[in-house]
Amino acid sequence: MSAITTDLLTRFDVPGPRYTSYPTADRFVEAFTAEQYVQALEQRRDGPAALARPLSLYVHIPFCQSLCYYCACNKIITRHHERSAPYLRYLSREIELHARHLGEGQAVSQLHLGGGTPTFFSDAELAELMGVLRRHFSLVPGGEYSIEVDPRTVNAERLQALAQLGFNRLSFGVQDFDPQVQKAVHRVQPAEQVFALVEEARRIGFESINVDLIYGLPRQTPESFDRTLAQMAQLRPDRVALYAYAHLPERFKPQRRILSADLPGAANKVTMLARSLAALKDAGYVYVGMDHFALPDDALAVAKRQGRLHRNFQGYSTQPDCDLIGLGVSAIGNVGASYSQNAKTLQEYEDALDQGQLPIVRGLAVTRDDLLRRAVIMALMCQGALSYESIELAHLIDFKTYFAKELVALAVMQEQGLVTLNDAGIQVTDTGWFFVRGVAMVFDKYLQADQARARFSKII
């Protein structure tokens, strides 16, 4: 921790991708069609079963009952819960279409419901959704089945219902315990409510409980966030996700309700991050990477120690490289050597399914260079190390020749104490692990060609 200076934090206080994929989603093109996606599904179905990657499902439920001003997610604000019933019918159609092209009963080892607010669905609707998924896919024992939960939408009975449906992991959106900050972002939820829900979730037996925090929100100060961190240490969830707030009101309309004058300055944001790193370490959390922290016995921390970390559109994962099926409005998938994204509006999404087509509106067929750079970036992001020989054997290149320019840039980072270079490969240092997005950015061909990075959040 002593090597993580304010100067380093300030130097890397720049925008950059989160690398839940490479190439990143902003590089997807509309020229990629639903027909190309169907071809990728059928290639998976018809290929040798032994070579098929594990399968993961993501379901996007866009509805929220109230607006959180900081939110940059694809969501629909409504108090009309009857809107979820037709959406569930369209989800069922999309699931059935996937099964038609993939084949029925494919094994699924990871399922995540995100949003929006997945618990906008009633217990009966969630049960119906899980029933449809189980009819067309095989959710294997021991898999990771998680759901994002707005604490304001559940009680002890609902948590019990989620467990009975097969969910074994919960992620609670907290962001900040300070009442003034909660009021400023239009998300008021008493700390006592969160504590009671986490205690009940533990009693029920959920395998892992995650809590999200955001620093850089309006009316936050280093001192107020210290108090939130102290409460977090007392709550002691299995995992903590600590995100930097990215204020981009020109892109995300809800953020226009936040007064710029209420936002903490850059110096205070850096201070909050530095204190957060220290507080979570003192509370016994392992720094998994980027914005993820976990208790030492959590599966994510164990995977980090054993070199088994992976990364997908939900962030760090213990699951091996998966094909990902994205279901619902705006959901992103990754099947074979392609990425795809569904329509972002309900109208487009429903129109496609009414015509019997999958609602793909853009995507990308990745190139040989993309696959190579993805392997390099994911090795750095997940293992913090890279063997030249392993990349050379897998991709039939000479690493030092192919990446000569990148190695020059890494030499500067070596002088900063972020990486170690030798004849065998690259090692991210303990200090560099806190800035691993910056290290990975060196290998991003698209960023090299396009320096307009303002579309991304800050890398710390």
Every domain of the chain and the residues it spans: 1-23+368-460, 26-325
Give the pLDDT of residue 242: 93
Contact 134, 169 (CB under 8 A): no
- For residue 149, give the nearest of 127, 167, 164 by alpha carbon: 167
| Continuous H helices in 185-330 | 191-204, 222-235, 266-282, 299-305
Is 382 marked within a binding site?
A: no
Residue ranges of the chain with pLDDT lower than 50?
A: 1-2, 452-454
- Which residue type, as a one-letter code, is found at position 408? V
Distance CA 79, CA 445 (A): 44
Is 58 marked within a binding site?
A: yes
Is 117 marked within a binding site?
A: yes
Is 71 marked within a binding site?
A: yes
Is 72 marked within a binding site?
A: yes
Contacts of 22 (CB under 8 A, 6+ apart): 370, 373, 374, 377, 378, 444
Is 135 marked within a binding site?
A: no
Q: SS3 of 296, please?
A: coil
Q: SS3 of 144, please?
A: strand
> Cα angle vertex 173, ends 168, 178, to 5°?
140
Give the pLDDT of residue 451: 55
Is 68 marked within a binding site?
A: yes
Q: What CATH code is assigned to 26-325?
A: 3.80.30.20
Residue 89's H or E segment, with its range, is helix 84-102
Is 166 marked within a binding site?
A: no
417-441 burial: b if 16+ Cβ within 10 Å, else e? ebbeeeeebbbbbebbbbbbbbbbb
Give the pLDDT of residue 460: 56
Contacts of 78 (CB under 8 A, 6+ apart): 63, 64, 65
**DSSP labels, 344-407:** SSHHHHHHHHHTT---EEEEEE--HHHHHHHHHHHHHHHHSEEEHHHHHHHHTS-HHHHTHHHH
Distance CA 299, CA 318 (A): 7
Is 352 marked within a binding site?
A: no
Is 212 marked within a binding site?
A: yes
Residue 26's H or E segment, with its range, is none
Is 87 marked within a binding site?
A: no
Give the pLDDT of residue 457: 59
Is 337 marked within a binding site?
A: no
Is 163 marked within a binding site?
A: no
Give the pLDDT of residue 117: 95
Tokens describing residue 57: 């499902």
> CATH says 1-23+368-460 is which class?
mainly alpha
Contact 286, 293 (CB under 8 A): yes
Give the pLDDT of residue 214: 96
The three-state DSSP-derived secondary structure of 389-435 is: HHHHHHHCCCHHHHCHHHHHHHHHHHHCCCEEECCCEEEECCCHHHH
- DSSP β-ladder status, 55-61 and 360-365: unpaired
